[in-house]
């Protein structure tokens, strides 16, 4: 192969690498700016309230998962 042909074949992947790197770098920089601009101030009381609510939701999720497993078990035993 001629060196210009090889250079032409390498140009496409190299350009793709540089373009993708630029896109990802720009995107991550914009996301960082959005987070800092849109992030509200949360008081310690609000944070504690949110943590309590999250704990309650996690417990509810746990109970629902157990109930779903028991329903699946009942369906398996009915089909046998």
Could you read off the pLDDT of 27-78 as tens digits, one per residue?
A: 665 665 555 556 678 899 999 999 999 999 999 999 999 999 999 888 888 7
pLDDT at 11 over 90: no
Residue extents of the structural domains in the chain: 1-39, 42-80
DSSP reduced 3-state for 41 = coil
Cα(40)–Cα(31) distance, rounded to whole angstroms?
16
At 36, list the tokens.
């800092």
Q: What local confidence, expressed as pLDDT, does residue 17 receive?
A: 83
pLDDT grade for 5, boundaries at 50, 70 and 90: confident
The pTM of the full predicted model, rounded to 2 decimals, is 0.45
Cα(63)–Cα(69) distance, rounded to whole angstroms?
10
């Amino acid at each position: 192969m001629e060196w210009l042909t090889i250079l032409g074949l390498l140009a496409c992947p190299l350009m793709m690498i540089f373009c993708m790197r630029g896109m990802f770098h720009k995107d991550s920089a914009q996301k960082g700016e959005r987070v800092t601009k849109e992030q509200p101030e949360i008081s310690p009381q609000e944070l504690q309230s949110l943590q309590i609510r999250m704990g309650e939701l996690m417990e509810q999720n746990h109970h629902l998962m157990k109930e779903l497993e028991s329903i699946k078990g009942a369906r398996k035993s009915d089909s046998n």
